[in-house]
Chain A
Amino acid sequence: MGTTLNVVIIALLVATALLAVFSKDLLAAVIVFSVYSLLMALMWQRLQAPDLALTEAAVGAGITTVLFVITIFKTHRREER
């Protein structure tokens, strides 16, 4: 059970990381990246590092996402070719 969940989380981590890198829509990339952070927080908790999980959830999924969204809002949403 535990191993299966770990494998699922890691597979989702890799998938979200690749999506965040290759997405042409930057807003979508940022949202996917915040999902990546939440999954990472879950993984830290499973590795028994609750301090890191708290930091990852607050900074990675919360503050970084908002700062990125503000930046996209003030520049361009689509990646230029």
Chain B
Amino acid sequence: MKKLLSLLFISALGILLLYVVANMPPMGDPGAPTRERVIPRYLEEAEEETNTTNVITGIILNYRGYDTMGEVTVIFCALACVLAVLGREKRGRIYAFVDRSTTPSSVIVKTMVRFLVPLIILFSVYTIMHGEISPGGGFQGGAIVGASMIIFSTIFGLWEASERIPQKLRAPLEGSACITFFLVGVLGLIGGGNFLTYAWPRISSSLQPAVVTWLTVLVEIGIGLGGAMVFISILFSMSREEEEIAPAA
């Protein structure tokens, strides 16, 4: 009975979704509203209006700023949920399963990781800072920093990793993505425009391109830092072990 009911519900949902898809303009239709209005506007004027060479960054941070702000909040909520269920690690010694292993990591692996991690972090900084010119941006850069900490904590153990990026540093920075976005939005209000206006109407138009560029870079840095810290915090609180099953040596 329960199975039948859920099957009915799922098929009703499926039919609804298919109905919506069937009513959408066909893919590649030249007469579709997005083709006629949205795409030409983005492609022709994004570079001038948002001062970003990478049009996608301009769209994500400028035209669809509200959308991205919501996404950033969702990531922060994910962290909040993980911490609510698993709890944040206590200050002091924390361990993962790797720390309990009695087999030491080989010298080759350790040296390679020591050599690679700074390069990965450098690449992520490039991805964040260069985001308005080339593909990439805050989210991607933050994820790459998180990946570098995954390698580090797998080889050197969670204890070493949490020494490098301590909780004292992570906790204030986790919300930085939401905070910078909100601050930039409020600055737009002060500058005389709407919430999240990058080109402030109150300042002279010759200064506006520089202001837009720097605000975009600021938001990118905020998203990158916040995203990286959120990823690392989730990783740490998921991989840590409870105190009772603490280390062998």
Residues of A participating in the B interface, judged by any CB pair closer than 8 Å: 50-51, 53-55, 58-59, 62-63, 66-67, 70-71, 73
Contact = CB atoms under 8 A, between A and B. Distances in A.
B147 A62 contact: yes
A14 B97 CA distance: 35
Interface string B123-148: 00001000000011101100110110
Nearest to A71: B238
A71 B85 CA distance: 13
Interface of B: 54, 56-57, 97, 127, 135-137, 139-140, 143-144, 146-147, 150, 231, 234-235, 238-239
Given A54-B127, A54-B140, A58-B144, A67 B234 contact: yes
Contact of B97 (A51, A53, A73): A73
B contacts with A: majority SS: helix
A73 B238 CA distance: 11
A contacts with B: majority SS: helix
Pairs of residues from A and B, 6 with the lowest C-beta to C-beta distance, nearest first: A50-B135, A58-B143, A62-B147, A54-B140, A51-B135, A59-B143
Nearest to B131: A51
Given A51-B56, A54-B127, A70 B144 contact: no
A55 B231 CA distance: 14
Given A51-B56, A55-B143, A71-B238, 10 more contacts: A51-B54, A51-B57, A51-B140, A54-B140, A58-B140, A63-B150, A63-B235, A70-B235, A70-B238, A73-B97
Contacts of A71: 238
A70 to B, nearest CB: 5
B139 A63 contact: no
Contacts of A54: 127, 135-136, 140
A55 B139 CA distance: 7
B229 to A, nearest CB: 13
Contact of A62 (B56, B137, B143): B143
Contacts of A67: 234-235, 238
Contacts of B231: 63
A74 to B, nearest CB: 8
26 contacts: A50-B135, A51-B56, A51-B57, A51-B135, A51-B137, A51-B140, A53-B135, A54-B127, A54-B135, A54-B136, A55-B139, A55-B140, A55-B143, A58-B143, A58-B144, A62-B143, A63-B143, A63-B147, A63-B235, A66-B150, A66-B235, A67-B234, A67-B238, A70-B235, A71-B238, A73-B97
B107 to A, nearest CB: 24
Contacts of A66: 150, 235
B118 to A, nearest CB: 18
A55 B28 CA distance: 25
